[in-house]
Structure 1
């Protein structure tokens, strides 16, 4: 009893110190680009956003109401991280754990990528906490299927899904390992209740034409397979665990399942690893995607160490080395002089201040950079917008109404200096990037115009084909401001070439506000007989800006 009490006190002291250090780092470290983007989300709270569900925006907003600057954005990250570590400790039910409390602190504090979510506020930050809460509630549910545990499991599942869509993988693999739950009415109560909790986001998806899902499953360009995608993914599995990875992965192989909860944890680990391995055959996977495996891996590793002295000693040494490296890298995020390269947290205050001066404090329109737009706005307070074209991808700036704030204003427009002579230029420390711009006295873009067609394939446009232009704006759009192009795409939806499109005579010279216009268009160029094109879409260049995403993708044949 005395040992247990002392152990619990050690855990509380560790978590208090960890929370304090993470709060301090949150305060003194500049934002990374994704954090600035989620700060932009939080300026207008909603039940969903183009890239992610709303949990990260909620925590950013709540923290920003309490504190200004970086600390406000990140304030809840240290508490969510420490809460996850505490729940992991509770999930380890071996009485021997109280004899090795310091080893648990060392192990949980040294898992490399996991520690980043101790102060960065990213979608994975609440995801890790709510996923640990889900496993905690699931274990309790297996032991006692009462109302409290049903409610906790339902709530944790919905909050996981409010954090990040791929939380579904952990939920699915955990339940697939215990298929008998499908015959349990209390399990279905938990699932049904979680859907009720998640209904506001489902409604938001429906109201926004399922834009995030359509983009990820249909519109986005896929990559041609490269062996490096798979090797980078496998190396990432090592990197996220740190120098203790041999002990960590060895433990899950050697650990035998004691019960259905263990079976679910192990099934989830291998399921997530294999899922993203197959994903690497199609595109580059990001290191944080399989991050959820860290939770069960810490549990298995620590439990195995309790009964194997030699393993325990090696784990302690490797974790100590990993912790030292993690601490150094965290210091390097604050002080650039410690490393021979720049990171995202370096120099953002400097380049944004310089750009504000050179752009004369005007609203800034960035080209294909939601990251720069949100970072610039965060540090300067100046309104910024990301104008996205077909060379980039859709994001929150395309979904919301921010474009309207820039119409017919004098702005600083960021451009490609190889195509247009710039009026000014600033340099970012991160990757030595250059940002060039010009001044535009009357900026206008019509990115929300939509092109609707019933054409089944590209051949329909070889002769005049009916299309409909939909204008959602509160002002007329002069047709002379618009140039239409046909974009041919390969099977991975990458741009092959651009075709000129003729807009045939229309009685109307403009698309009136909040209305549609029917007209005929046709391809002005001849099509080559042999081509790798498999998809086609119409696009519009307004006021000589790069083409947007106005037309839907249709097959070539």
Structure 2
């Protein structure tokens, strides 16, 4: 048998083993919080969701149609990851790779965070697959602009964008690295086809008033700068590649980028690093955000190793050491007793069973926790929702109609807030989070009331403001159930303080008719607080719920 044939057999054997190991891990590991949330997405398939495009929900839905439990949620993650590895291998066209297949396999199995997406089903799982497909198809397109490369390029771009919005960075930096490609009509054809494939999501954004984009780009509160945001980001960026990261980045800096494809890989790494470095100046960056750089780094490091024997030996040793460590950590995800920390895949079935017993099987409403609500519903089979407000953020439970399934029902309302009322309590092991619950016999949420300030900007010396109050419900809402507040926000849209708001007497005992709107003018108290504010909004707390996100945000005059 030839060396190449042996190499190919070894590679495909590795892919089969990798898939089987990941399937076993998928079956044996309890869900993590975000996975439960995406499972909630999949219960009602749509062309988009508040936090992400729909690709992750589609794969979760497909898996749960085949299998129950954790395996159903994660089933396609294993195959997507295997596909990612396959297309990375195909992208490397140096024949020396056939003599170094073992190195490639060990390297692929040891890239730290990268391997998480071999069994967790998260938006980055399909993102990595379509990104690997994109890099391979881009290279094919550079070599030969045939109909196959055009179609695969289009599908990969659309697939990435259906997975996560920041896929646009990979596409954008590849174009930036090779501006001549904009002169190729076939590349424009691929782009148009990708846009057509992506159009259902664009239409969904339009139909939903661009809710998701407005939140991420305009309404989302940023944080005051902290040096550890940047330091954590830089450490995570380099550490994501595992123990071999010094060697991998050495290869990146030393590898000679001769071709347009190699230059593209380099620009992607630099571009994504700088983009999220800037992002770290106003918020904490999550470790997976720059994960796309792992693909070009793997390709470059392996290509460099093929020509440098000493480097190759050390890369193999460090990768093997990382693989041993990762194997232990993967077992620890399943077996809490050997884990150095309590992770979010530990103890979920226990707290869900305890809550189910204490809540007497009632539907459960969590204050400000979409992940807890989704996790509870997954393991208990009981309806649950998240009632969101300050200081939390909007999510899918604000966008969909889940609230209507709970109105006027007997529910249990849970809060982790200190000093909250309590009929019973329980503690979730992960982060030692203590929840307190009360029984509510007629739950009356009005989170979808809408407040629109009439002023385009607020005068800091003003003692009153006008707004339109819209009631989208099929029933009237009593003003007696509502409390209005004014919120002052800093330039990063984080809450500074609360202003008292007084309604006119004629509204105090009145009602807002169903499917109607009212023009309301309210008096503001403590208006000196406006002097320090950059933005202002009106918000509503109804019945037992805290302040929501009903009002639009307007600037305060300088």
Deviation for aligned residue 1:544? 4.4
SS of the aligned residue for 1:242 comes to coil
Deviation for aligned residue 1:339? 2.1
Counterpart in the other structure of 1:129: 129
For the 8 Å contact 1:462–1:522, the answer to whether it is kept is: no
Counterpart in the other structure of 2:196: 196
For the 8 Å contact 2:420–2:436, the answer to whether it is kept is: no
Deviation for aligned residue 1:257? 1.4
Counterpart in the other structure of 2:264: 264
Counterpart in the other structure of 2:34: 34
Counterpart in the other structure of 1:109: 109
Q: Structure 1, residues 362-383: CA drift from partner, whole Å, max 9, x if none?
A: 0000000001000000000010
Counterpart in the other structure of 1:540: 540
Counterpart in the other structure of 2:359: 359
Deviation for aligned residue 1:463? 4.5
For the 8 Å contact 2:460–2:531, the answer to whether it is kept is: no
Alpha carbons of structure 1 residues 530 and 384: separation in structure 2 relative to 1, 3 Å: closer
Counterpart in the other structure of 2:551: 551
For the 8 Å contact 1:506–1:519, the answer to whether it is kept is: no
Residue 316, structure 1, aligned to residue 312, structure 2: no
Counterpart in the other structure of 2:97: 97
Aligned residue runs from structure 1 range 145-544, under 5 A: 145-416=145-416, 418-459=418-459, 462-506=462-506, 509-523=510-524, 525-528=525-528, 531-544=531-544
Residue 12, structure 1, aligned to residue 12, structure 2: yes
Alignment partners' CA distance in 2, 1:136 and 1:486: 53
Unaligned runs of 5+ in 2: none
Deviation for aligned residue 1:503? 1.4
For the 8 Å contact 2:463–2:527, the answer to whether it is kept is: no
Alpha carbons of structure 1 residues 190 and 160: separation in structure 2 relative to 1, 3 Å: same
SS of the aligned residue for 1:182 comes to helix
Alpha carbons of structure 1 residues 406 and 172: separation in structure 2 relative to 1, 3 Å: same
SS of the aligned residue for 2:243 comes to helix
For the 8 Å contact 2:447–2:548, the answer to whether it is kept is: yes
- 348-357 or 428-437, which moves further after superposition? 428-437
Deviation for aligned residue 1:459? 2.7
Alignment partners' CA distance in 1, 2:448 and 2:529: 34
Alignment partners' CA distance in 2, 1:526 and 1:293: 50
Alpha carbons of structure 1 residues 390 and 420: separation in structure 2 relative to 1, 3 Å: closer
Alignment partners' CA distance in 2, 1:176 and 1:160: 18
Residue 60, structure 1, aligned to residue 60, structure 2: yes
Alignment partners' CA distance in 2, 1:323 and 1:544: 50
Alpha carbons of structure 1 residues 68 and 119: separation in structure 2 relative to 1, 3 Å: same
Deviation for aligned residue 1:193? 1.1
Alignment partners' CA distance in 2, 1:30 and 1:383: 19
For the 8 Å contact 2:451–2:551, the answer to whether it is kept is: yes
For the 8 Å contact 1:305–1:311, the answer to whether it is kept is: yes
For the 8 Å contact 1:461–1:521, the answer to whether it is kept is: no
SS of the aligned residue for 2:442 comes to strand
Alignment partners' CA distance in 2, 1:510 and 1:415: 29
The number of aligned residues is: 556
SS of the aligned residue for 2:345 comes to coil
SS of the aligned residue for 1:549 comes to coil
Deviation for aligned residue 1:527? 2.0
Deviation for aligned residue 1:453? 2.2
Alignment partners' CA distance in 2, 1:136 and 1:68: 34
Deviation for aligned residue 1:393? 0.2
Deviation for aligned residue 1:456? 2.6
- 419-428 or 294-303, which moves further after superposition? 419-428
With the length of structure 1 as denominator, give the TM-score of the two structures: 0.98
For the 8 Å contact 1:538–1:550, the answer to whether it is kept is: yes
Q: Structure 1, residues 477-532: CA drift from partner, whole Å, max 9, x if none?
A: 11121111101111111111111111114478211111112222121x13227843
Q: Structure 1, residues 135-167: CA drift from partner, whole Å, max 9, x if none?
A: 111111111112221111111100100000000
Aligned-residue CA RMSD (Å) = 1.4
SS of the aligned residue for 2:459 comes to helix
Q: Structure 1, residues 441-474: CA drift from partner, whole Å, max 9, x if none?
A: 1111100000112213333893454321111111
SS of the aligned residue for 2:468 comes to strand
Unaligned runs of 5+ in 1: none
Alpha carbons of structure 1 residues 35 and 206: separation in structure 2 relative to 1, 3 Å: same
Q: Structure 1, residues 86-134: CA drift from partner, whole Å, max 9, x if none?
A: 1111111111110011000000110000000000000000000000001
Alignment partners' CA distance in 2, 1:135 and 1:340: 38
Alignment partners' CA distance in 2, 1:319 and 1:120: 21
For the 8 Å contact 1:38–1:57, the answer to whether it is kept is: yes
Alignment partners' CA distance in 1, 2:18 and 2:416: 45
Deviation for aligned residue 1:439? 0.6
For the 8 Å contact 1:366–1:414, the answer to whether it is kept is: yes
Alignment partners' CA distance in 1, 2:529 and 2:453: 24
Alignment partners' CA distance in 2, 1:489 and 1:465: 16
For the 8 Å contact 1:481–1:542, the answer to whether it is kept is: yes
Alpha carbons of structure 1 residues 254 and 460: separation in structure 2 relative to 1, 3 Å: closer
Structure 1 segments of 4+ aligned residues over 4 angstroms from their partners: none
For the 8 Å contact 1:113–1:241, the answer to whether it is kept is: yes
Alpha carbons of structure 1 residues 458 and 530: separation in structure 2 relative to 1, 3 Å: closer
Residue 83, structure 1, aligned to residue 93, structure 2: no
